Structure 1
Amino acid sequence: MQVDQSSKFFQVAGHVILVTITLKEGDSLEETPRTPVITIGLNSGQATFDYAMTELKNLVEANNMTVVEEIQQALTKPNPGTYFGTGKVEELAAIVVDDGVDTIVVNDELSPSQIRNLEKVTKARIMDRTGLILEIFANRAQSREAKLQVQLAMLQYQLPRLHTSASQRLDQQTGSGGGGGFTNRGAGESQTEMSRRTIQRSINHVNHELKEINQAAATQRQQRERNQLPSVALVGYTNAGKSTLMNALVRQFGMNEEKQVFVKNMLFATLDTSVRQLTFPDQKKLLLSDTVGFVSQLPTQLVKAFRSTLAEAANADLLIQVVDYADPNKAAMMATTEQTLHDIGVTDVPMITVFNKADLTDTSFPSRAGDALILSAKDTDSIALLTQTIKEKVFHNYVTATFLVPFANGDVVAYLNDNANVLQTSYEETGTALKVELQQADFARFKKYVVTPSTND
C-alpha cells in the first residue's frame, strides 16, 4: 500500500485489486481513453438480476471503462473455484483473446481463490463488484476524510485477499511507508505474513487519523445542536439528484450562492457530506446536509468506513429520500436506501420521499400525496412545494405568542425580528408589542415578556 502524497490519491497494488490514478490537476475522466472491459454475471434466479447487471454497466462507465461484451450464465450457485462453470470460463477466455480485452468485471464479490483461478485461465485482470466500487470511490474522494475512509475500506478489503505473489508486489509498494518497515519480522516470516502485518499497521494508523477527524466533526455537530437549529438530511441512491435539489434550495434560501455543492450526471459524484444553513423568509432556519449516495451491494467495508459521514443522517430531524422517478428500477433503489439506512442504525428518523426528475416522465408535477412528493429539482413550483412540506414537518412545534417588550430591552426586539417570524408589531405606552411565531427554546427564553401565548396546530 502506497500513499501518493503528491497527487493525494493512494494506490493499493496487488493481484486482486489495482488502483491506478493518472489524473493530473485540471484533467477530467472524460479526457482519458476508456478501458474496454467484459462484464460477467451469474443468474441464480434472483428477481433483480437484470437490474444488477444494468447497474454494473453504469458503475463500469462511472469508472472510465466501457463494456464491449456482457456474459451471463444461469447457475443455482457460483462455482466455488471459478465462479462460472468450467465450460463458460473457457468460453470467456476465448472471448478475451478475440476482443483483445484485458479486464473482466464480475457482478458479485469473489473469493481470493476464484479471482486467482479466473485470472489464471483467462489471462485477464479480474475485478469484482466490490473492487470496482472501491476504485470508483478512490477516484472520487476529494477531502482528507473521504480519502482516509476509502483507504480504510480498501485495506480491509485487501487484507483477507493476500497471497504470496500479490503480497510481494504489495511489499515493494509499501516500503517504509507502512510504519516501521520490516525490522521486527521474525526468522522465516513469509511475504504474506509481512504484508498482512504491514496492512494491519496501516489500518490502525488510518483509524487513528479518522478518529481525530470524527472528533472534530462531532464537536461541530454539538455546536450546531447548541444553536438549536433543526437539521434535514438528503439521502438516497447515487445520481438521484440530491445535490441538484440541495443547490436549488441553497440558491433560494442559502446565505450565499458560493456554497453550491458539486453536481455531475455520474454515479458517486459526491462522497463528502455538505452542510448548508437555510433561512426562509419567515426567519425559520435549518441545516440541510447532502450525504453520500447509496448503491445495491454497497461494500460492507465502505458502509463501516462512511458511518461517521452518515452521522448527519442519523442525527437529523427529518430525512428526505430522493428517488429518480424516471428510473424503472426505482422500487429496488428505495429498498436499497432503506436497507443501508437500517445498516448504519438510522431507523427512527421521520422521512419524506421526493420522487425527483419528473420532468423526464409524462407525469404532471409537482404533486403531493401524504409524505410523497413528485417533482423536478429544476422547477420553481416544485421547490416551493418541497419547502412547504419541509417547514410543515420540521417546524410543527413552533409557538405563536404575543410579547410586550419594554423599550429599554431593544435587543430582545432586534433578536425576535432577526430570528423569529414577526406577524404583527405595535407600540404601546410601556413597550413594543409583537405577535411572533418562534421555536420553543426562544419562547422559554423570553417567556417573561409573554402576554398571550398559543401553540400552533
Structure 2
Amino acid sequence: MTELTHRSFDDQAFADTDVDDAALDAALREDELLLDEPELSPGELELSERASLRRVAGLSTELDDVTEVEYRKLRLERVVLVGVWTEGTAEQSEASLAELARLAETAGSQVLEGMVQRRGRPDPATYIGAGKVRELADVVRATGADTVICDGELSPGQLRQLEAKLKVKVIDRTALILDIFAQHARSREGKAQVELAQLQYLVPRLRGWGESLSRQGGGRGGNAGVGLRGPGETKLETDRRRIGKRMAKLRREIAAMDTVRATKRGRRTANEVPSVAIVGYTNAGKSSLLNAVTGAGVLVEDALFATLDPTTRRAETPDGRAYTLTDTVGFVRHLPHQLVEAFRSTLDEAADSDLLLHVVDGSDPAPEDQVSAVREVLAEIGARRSTPLPPELVVVNKADAADEVTLARLRHLLPDAVVVSARTGHGMAELLEAVAERLPRPEVAVEVVVPYTRGELVARTHADGEVLAEEHTSEGTRLVARVRPDLAAALRDYAVESSRA
C-alpha cells in the first residue's frame, strides 16, 4: 500500500501591542520626518501599494444559498497541500510541494500542512484515491483548514468528487497560479490576458451550487410571458454563451494591443536597434538584473510572479552601441497552457529579440530543474513559430547567496554561463562584455574622410555604428567603422579611394 507522508509548515504568531499617547506622539513625529525623505521609484511605489492592504482572516460574507455561477475567485485562508509523486526523486517531489507552498503564500493563504502520496499515476476519479481521500478529510478537520490545494491540474470530475467528499473548497495548481496573476496584473493588456486565461480554465469547470444551473428559462406554463414560452435554455448554457462572448471580446482587445506592441517593435527593427530579452524562472532576479544594467527602478519583490507586465529600457554596450533590454514574465514548472496562450504577444517579445538572457537563481536548491522548466516553455513557444528562437546566454544570478559547491556544479554543466550578483554588482562587467560579443554588429565596413562641416554624420556613426578607428586630418575626420546599409549610403560620397575600390 502507498504511504501518505506529512510535512508541516510552521504557523506565524502575531502578538497584539497597546498603543499609548506617547507612542502616538512618536509616530506623528516620525510621519513629519518622512516628509523630508526622497521620492520613491516606480517599483518602490508599486511594492508599497501591494503591502498596503492585507486580508483579515475569519471575516466572511459568504451566502448560504449561492445561485450565481461560482467564478472561483479564490479567497484562500487556511490551506492543506496535497501532491502525487509519480516520477523523479523524493527530493524533487518535496521541492515541488515546497514551491506550491510559496505559491499559496504569495496568493495570501496560510499553509498548515503538506502531504505527498506515492502513486504510479493520479487516480482518475479523486486524484489520490478513495482511501487517501478519507485520510485527507481527517487532516482537514484536525487542522481546521478551509481549502485544499492539489499539486497538479485537476479534471472537472476530480474537482467535484474531492469537494463533495472533503466538504471544503478544492483548487489545483493552475487555478492558484491564475489567481496570483490576477492579483499582480497592472496594465490593461496584462489584466485582459489574465482574464482570458481564467475564462479558458473556467469553461470546462463551469458549475454552481445545487440545481441552480439546471433551471431553464421560459417554459410552457408560469409567467414566462409572450415570446419566452418553450423549452428555453439552462442557466449553465446561458453562462457558457456569455463567457464565450467575453472571451471573443478579450481576444479582439489583445489582438489590437498586440498590433501596438508590434508597431513599436517594428520601429526598433527598422532602426536596427538590437534587442535583448530577460527570461527565466520566477523570482530568479530578472527585474533586479534590469535595474542593475539600466537603472530602470522597476518593482523588485521576493515573491513569485512579482513581474507580469514587460518593461523595456535602453542600454549601451561597453563600446557604446545602443540596445534595448526587456524584462518579461517569469516561468514556473507546469506553467498553465492557458497562460502561455493568453500571454502569446508578451512571450513573442522575447522570441523576436536578438539575444535571450536566461537568468537562473544560483541560490535555489535545484537550479538545474529551473533551467529545464524554462527551456521547456521556450521550446513550446518556438514550436509554434516559423523562425528559430534567438541565441541564449545563461546568467547565474544571486552569486552572493549561492553555495560554492552549487556554483561549481553550474559552471561545469553550463560552461558558457556568466555568474553575477545583481544586488552587489559582482560579475556585471563580465556580463555586459558577454552581451556585447553576442549582439549583432553592423554589417557594412566603411573607410571615409568626413568634412568637418558634416559633423552630424560623424555623430551618427558613433551613435548607430561601430567605430574601429578615428583620426582628425586636414581634410576632415577619418573613420574606419562598421555601419548599417542606410548610413553607408549617406557616407558613400566621402569614402577614401581604397574603400571605393
Report the TM-score, using the length of structure 1 for normalisation: 0.83
Answering whether residue 373 of structure 2 is matched by residue 332 of structure 1, we say no
C-alpha deviation, 1:166, in angstroms: 8.1
Structure 2 counterpart of 1:298, which letter?
L
C-alpha deviation, 1:219, in angstroms: 0.8
Contact residue 104 and residue 126 of structure 1 kept, 8 A: yes
Aligned residue runs from structure 1 range 157-236, under 5 A: 157-165=201-209, 168=212, 187-236=231-280
Answering whether residue 399 of structure 2 is matched by residue 358 of structure 1, we say yes
- Alpha-carbon displacement from aligned partner over 1:347-372 (angstroms, at most 9, x marks no partner): 43111101111111243899897531
Q: 1:96 aligns with which of 131, 137, 140?
A: 140
C-alpha deviation, 1:320, in angstroms: 0.8
C-alpha deviation, 1:307, in angstroms: 0.9
Structure 2 counterpart of 1:56, which letter?
L
- Alpha-carbon displacement from aligned partner over 1:285-310 (angstroms, at most 9, x marks no partner): 10111110000111110000001001
Answering whether residue 459 of structure 2 is matched by residue 414 of structure 1, we say yes
3-state secondary structure, aligned to 1:322: strand
Structure 1 counterpart of 2:400, which letter?
D
Distance 1:142 1:167 in 2: 37
Answering whether residue 330 of structure 2 is matched by residue 293 of structure 1, we say yes
3-state secondary structure, aligned to 1:42: strand
| Residue in structure 1 matched with residue 127 of structure 2 by the alignment | 83
Contact residue 399 and residue 453 of structure 1 kept, 8 A: no
Distance 2:214 2:350 in 1: 37
Aligned residue runs from structure 1 range 19-38, under 5 A: 26=49, 28=51, 31-33=54-56, 35-38=77-80
| Residue in structure 2 matched with residue 142 of structure 1 by the alignment | 186
**Across the two proteins, how many residue pairs are aligned to each other?**
413
Relative distance call for 1:27 and 1:244 in structure 2 (3 A) is: closer
3-state secondary structure, aligned to 2:400: helix
3-state secondary structure, aligned to 1:359: coil
Give the number of the structure whose residues are more often strand, by fraction: 1
Distance 1:307 1:387 in 2: 28
Contact residue 63 and residue 135 of structure 1 kept, 8 A: yes
Relative distance call for 1:189 and 1:301 in structure 2 (3 A) is: same
The percentage of aligned residue pairs carrying the same residue is 38
Contact residue 30 and residue 64 of structure 1 kept, 8 A: no
Of stretches 395-404 and 241-250 in structure 1, the one that deviates more from structure 2 is 395-404
Structure 1 counterpart of 2:452, which letter?
F
Contact residue 213 and residue 234 of structure 2 kept, 8 A: no
- Alpha-carbon displacement from aligned partner over 1:330-357 (angstroms, at most 9, x marks no partner): 1111111111011112743111101111
Contact residue 126 and residue 162 of structure 2 kept, 8 A: yes
Distance 2:491 2:207 in 1: 68
Relative distance call for 1:207 and 1:407 in structure 2 (3 A) is: same
| Residue in structure 2 matched with residue 449 of structure 1 by the alignment | 494
3-state secondary structure, aligned to 1:277: strand
Distance 2:202 2:210 in 1: 10
Answering whether residue 85 of structure 2 is matched by residue 40 of structure 1, we say no
Structure 2 counterpart of 1:32, which letter?
R
Distance 2:228 2:273 in 1: 52
- Alpha-carbon displacement from aligned partner over 1:215-253 (angstroms, at most 9, x marks no partner): 1111111111111101111111000111101110003xx
- Alpha-carbon displacement from aligned partner over 1:185-224 (angstroms, at most 9, x marks no partner): 9733111111111110110111111111111111111111
C-alpha deviation, 1:165, in angstroms: 3.0
Distance 1:213 1:32 in 2: 33
Contact residue 167 and residue 195 of structure 1 kept, 8 A: no
Of stretches 115-124 and 235-244 in structure 1, the one that deviates more from structure 2 is 115-124
Report the TM-score, using the length of structure 2 for normalisation: 0.76
| Residue in structure 2 matched with residue 19 of structure 1 by the alignment | none
RMSD: 3.0
| Residue in structure 1 matched with residue 43 of structure 2 by the alignment | none
Distance 1:202 1:304 in 2: 16
Contact residue 321 and residue 463 of structure 2 kept, 8 A: no
Structure 2 counterpart of 1:349, which letter?
P
3-state secondary structure, aligned to 2:176: helix
3-state secondary structure, aligned to 1:275: strand
3-state secondary structure, aligned to 2:111: strand
| Residue in structure 1 matched with residue 108 of structure 2 by the alignment | 64
Aligned residue runs from structure 1 range 263-282, under 5 A: 263-280=300-317, 282=319
